[in-house]
Structure 1
Amino acid sequence: MPFDLELTDDPAAFLAAAGDHLAADPVVTTVVATVTARLASGRDHAGAPHRPHRWWALVRDDTESVVGVAMRTAPFEPYPAYVLPMPDDAAVELARVLHERGEVLGGVNGALPAARRVADETARLTGATVTVHEHLRLFELGDLVVPPAPPGGLRPATTADADLVLAWYRAFGRAAAEQAGRTGEHGSPTETFTMADVLERIAAGVVFLWDDEDGETVHLTATNPPAYGVVRVGPVYTPGEHRGRGYASAAVAEVSRRIVEAGDRACLFTDQANPTSNKIYEAVGYRPVVDMVNLLVG
Structure 2
Amino acid sequence: MIQLHRYREVQEFKNQVEPLLSKNEVLHNLALGILHSLNESSKPNFMGVILKDSRAALVLLQTHPKQIILSQIQKLTEGELSEAAELLQEIDVPGLVGERQTALYLSQKLAALKNQEASLKMDQRIYQLDKVKKAVDANGVLVKARLEHLPLVTEWIWEFMGTIGEPVSKEQAVKTGEAFIKAERLFLWEVNGKYVSIANATRPTTHNITINFVYTPREERKKGYASSCVSTLSQLMLDSGFQTTSLYTDMTNPTPNKIYMEIGYEHVADSALVLFHEKK
**Structure-1-length-normalised TM-score:** 0.82
Q: Does residue 226 of the first structure (1) align with residue 204 of the second (2)?
A: yes
Q: Is the 8 A contact 1:157 1:208 kept in 2?
A: yes
Q: Is the 8 A contact 1:172 1:190 kept in 2?
A: no
Superposed CA offset, 1:159-184 (max 9, x none): 11122222222321322x3xxxxxxx
**Number of paired residues?**
273
Q: CA distance change for structure 1 residues 10 and 122 in 2, over 3 Å: closer, same or farther?
A: same
Code of the aligned partner of 2:209: V
| Structural mapping, 1:30-109, within 5 Å | 30-40=29-39, 54-62=45-53, 64-75=54-65, 79-85=66-72, 86=74, 87-88=76-77, 91-101=81-91, 103=92, 105-109=93-97
Q: Compute the RMSD of aligned alpha carbons.
A: 2.6
Question: How far off its partner does 1:113 sit?
Answer: 2.2
Code of the aligned partner of 2:191: D
Other-structure match for 2:155: 167
- Structure with the higher fraction of residues in strand conformation: 2
Determine the C-alpha separation between the residues in 1 that align with 2:84 and 2:160.
32
Code of the aligned partner of 1:210: W
Determine the C-alpha separation between the residues in 2 that align with 1:160 and 1:120.
47
Determine the C-alpha separation between the residues in 2 that align with 1:95 and 1:13.
24
Q: Does residue 127 of the first structure (1) align with residue 115 of the second (2)?
A: yes
Code of the aligned partner of 2:58: G
| Structural mapping, 1:203-242, within 5 Å | 203-213=182-192, 215-242=193-220
Q: Is the 8 A contact 1:106 1:296 kept in 2?
A: yes
Other-structure match for 1:50: none
Code of the aligned partner of 2:57: V
Q: CA distance change for structure 1 residues 61 and 122 in 2, over 3 Å: closer, same or farther?
A: closer
Q: Is the 8 A contact 2:60 2:71 kept in 1?
A: yes
Question: How far off its partner does 1:36 sit?
Answer: 2.5
| Identity percentage of aligned residues | 23
Q: CA distance change for structure 1 residues 5 and 190 in 2, over 3 Å: closer, same or farther?
A: farther
Other-structure match for 1:263: 241
Determine the C-alpha separation between the residues in 2 that align with 1:269 and 1:8.
28
The range that moved more, 161-170 or 249-258, is 161-170
Determine the C-alpha separation between the residues in 1 that align with 2:171 and 2:25.
26
Q: CA distance change for structure 1 residues 259 and 91 in 2, over 3 Å: closer, same or farther?
A: farther
Q: Does residue 281 of the first structure (1) align with residue 260 of the second (2)?
A: yes
Q: CA distance change for structure 1 residues 196 and 131 in 2, over 3 Å: closer, same or farther?
A: closer
